[in-house]
Structure 1
Amino acid sequence: MRDNRPFHTRAVAALAVTLTALAAAGCSTERAASSESPSDDGEVKIGLVTKTETNPYFVKLRESAQAAADKSGADLIALAGKFDGDNAGQVTAIENLVQQGVDGILITPSNAKAILDAIQEAKDAGVVVIALDTETEPRDAVAATFATDNEEAGRTLGKYIDARLGDRDPKVLMADLDPSSSVGLQRHNGFLDGMGLTDDSDAILGTALTQGDQGKAQAAMENLLQRVGKKVNVVYNINEPAARGSYLALKARGLADDVLIGAIDGSCSGVQDVADGKFAATVMQFPQKMAEQGVAAVVKYAETGEKPSGFVDTGDMLITDKPVDGLESKDSTWGAENCWG
């Protein structure tokens, strides 16, 4: 009898028979992901590996991928690291997905370089690997990337904050992500470039690594504020959870109204923070587009063998209720209607 499953699904199924069962320790499932062998009905199987299961951004990415998979009749198996930066958890997730016979893996890599061996092993098994949100280093380690141009998003935020400062000299605190994350580095560098600063500028009063977590960002900002006091007038944040932590630390010291807080994310709650005056601005991303395009690319590969290629910029938009000349932006009303769309 002829096997009508996609050709690479059959190859992965054969490989899976020879693999030792892999424990899922170090990664957590986002849905009931079975350990059964590949489906016999030709259904396309897609793996999704995000950085965490709790960050609202990755929750939205997962939900969007699930909706797109359901619409196309594909099966989605979603796994995640325990925290932003958990490379070991993502490696285990990839091995688990290869064993389960997926046709493609969509991944938001926590460590742009350390994940490369696991990606190559998946590719060697006939699995197409696509990055979402965060690039690998090098970029061509995966077939394609669907993501925000993170450096440009950071640059947009930096230009906006610089314009809002006017004649005031910048006094900046940086709530960063992690040096192993390409997205963290790109946003950091873009923001400084937009501000006309460098890492060794006297305007940089201090930096902290937050893993994009609100609690860690709040604690880090409290420590930085103990050192710099009231000098600060700008706080850059890798994302909105970090910005929320920074805001709480500034508010506790009575400084929130005197500091321009900027973030990159564009969630509905982040847009509301802009509307409430907590954030000067946020740069909106569109994870729904990333997920939809990623799922569509895997389905096409499963059906035709054609791989996607290159970097696809899924766009961004500056959200603020205090626009400045020369920078395109939308207000919080528009943001609320389009958040993470």
Structure 2
Amino acid sequence: MQNIVKRLMTLVSVVLGLSFILGAFPTTVQAEDLIVVGFSQVGAESDWRTANTKSMQDTFVEANGYRLIFDDAQQKQENQITAIRNFIQQEVDYIVLAPVTETGWDTVLQEAQDAAIPVIIVDRMIDVSDDALFTTWVGSDFKLEGDKAVEWMVETQAEELKIVHLQGTIGSSAQIGRTQGLEEGVEANQGWEIIAQQTGEFTQAKGQEVMESILKQHDDIDVVYAENDNMAFGAIDAIEAAGKTVGVDGDIVVISFDATRAGLDATLAGKINYNVECNPLHGARVDALIQQLEAGEEVDKLAYVEEVTFDATTITQEDIDAREY
């Protein structure tokens, strides 16, 4: 009996000792105090998307009080809907969605609302029957981006232009806004004509494939209006392989969007004439919104990011070195 008592006392001493040691070295954030964020990303189709993902993954870490559940949808909306339902089952605190397309979200977002989980939309916008289905949206004014490109063409290019239009993923907000900007510009300038308009799906490979096909049909191209840097890279490769030149003093003017580091390198090199920024660093912005919501504060329904443009004739290496992506 005495041996049993001694053993119990020894065990208690060990437990108390461990408790003291753990208490002397507390973790920064207790697991139960972490804010759990479920993030459904479109995919990894471009340099922009990669930078956007990294921004979110770098922000939503335990050191900042978060646990991130990340899902790559691989460009499929059905994958995103499945991911959102999984987030709901896991009872996350917030759902962050970078939608593949604008439509088709009402049902699953109603499920999130029924579960009292706030939904934050990033990058592309969604078109739902009731805006109450999402809490807030953070992203770019894609129509304004297109307008900036059109304004540059009006100021720097000839009155008569034959334009090749490489569109992004059809139905995405970036494609809709940038396409609208160009089409309104063509309508307002009688000498402009879109001689080819086709999606390159925001990828370099598809952009090159589409441009190769267009070059076989058209020999009188003045401008390529590519809705992101990766498609612009593909188009440039196709144009140069066909024996033509691009950019400053080239045969064909290239306009691009995103202003990734690689895109700006091409702009500085004179391959891309004009590049419109689309800032992907949304992590800190989403973090700030979540902190407001945690504090019981109201947030703006729409939060547009400020963006700039880069002209090949004025861009400097210092401009590129100052970029975070």
- TM-score by length of structure 1 reads 0.78
CA contact (8 A) 2:41 2:99 kept: yes
Shift of 1:305: 4.4
Match of 2:197 in 1: 207
* 2:126 is the alignment partner of 1:136: yes
Match of 1:247 in 2: 236
In 2, Cα distance between the equivalents of 1:163 and 1:91?
A: 44
Bigger Rg, which one: 2
* 2:253 is the alignment partner of 1:260: yes
In 1, Cα distance between the equivalents of 2:197 and 2:42?
A: 22
Match of 1:108 in 2: 98
In 2, Cα distance between the equivalents of 1:201 and 1:127?
A: 51
Residues 229-263 of structure 1: per-residue CA shift (max 9 Å, x gap): 2x111111111111111111111112232111111
Match of 1:279 in 2: 272
- Structure 2, unmatched stretches of 5+, are 1-29
CA contact (8 A) 2:37 2:96 kept: yes
- TM-score by length of structure 2 reads 0.82
Shift of 1:208: 0.8
Relative to structure 1, is the Cα distance of residues 200 and 47 closer, same or farther in structure 2, using a 3 angstrom cutoff?
Answer: farther
- Secondary structure of the residue aligned to 1:258 is coil
In 1, Cα distance between the equivalents of 2:210 and 2:181?
A: 22
Shift of 1:87: 0.8
Which is bigger in relative contact order (C-alpha 8 A, separation at least 6)?
Answer: 1
In 1, Cα distance between the equivalents of 2:64 and 2:191?
A: 51
Residues 54-112 of structure 1: per-residue CA shift (max 9 Å, x gap): 422122112112222235221112212112xx111111121122222211112111111
Match of 1:35 in 2: none
Which amino acid in 2 is paired with 1:98?
A: I
- Secondary structure of the residue aligned to 2:146 is helix
After TM superposition, the structure 1 = structure 2 runs for residues 146-225 of structure 1, keeping only pairs within 5 Å, are 146-167=138-159, 169-193=160-184, 195-197=185-187, 203-225=193-215
Alignment equivalent of 1:308, drawn from 280, 299, 319: 299
Residues 159-199 of structure 1: per-residue CA shift (max 9 Å, x gap): 112322134x1100110023321221111111333x34379
- Secondary structure of the residue aligned to 1:171 is strand
- Structure 1, unmatched stretches of 5+, are 1-38, 324-330
Which amino acid in 1 is paired with 2:155?
A: A
CA RMSD in angstroms comes to: 2.3
- Secondary structure of the residue aligned to 1:121 is helix
In 2, Cα distance between the equivalents of 1:340 and 1:127?
A: 31
In 2, Cα distance between the equivalents of 1:204 and 1:241?
A: 21
Match of 1:322 in 2: 313
CA contact (8 A) 2:59 2:283 kept: yes
Relative to structure 1, is the Cα distance of residues 335 and 300 closer, same or farther in structure 2, using a 3 angstrom cutoff?
Answer: same
- Secondary structure of the residue aligned to 2:143 is helix
Residues 215-237 of structure 1: per-residue CA shift (max 9 Å, x gap): 111111111111112x1111111
- Secondary structure of the residue aligned to 1:286 is coil
CA contact (8 A) 2:161 2:192 kept: no
In 2, Cα distance between the equivalents of 1:334 and 1:117?
A: 47
In 1, Cα distance between the equivalents of 2:274 and 2:66?
A: 38
* Identity in percent: 21
Match of 1:335 in 2: 319
Shift of 1:319: 0.9
Alignment equivalent of 2:107, drawn from 109, 117, 128: 117
In 2, Cα distance between the equivalents of 1:170 and 1:55?
A: 28
Match of 2:286 in 1: 294
In 2, Cα distance between the equivalents of 1:153 and 1:247?
A: 21
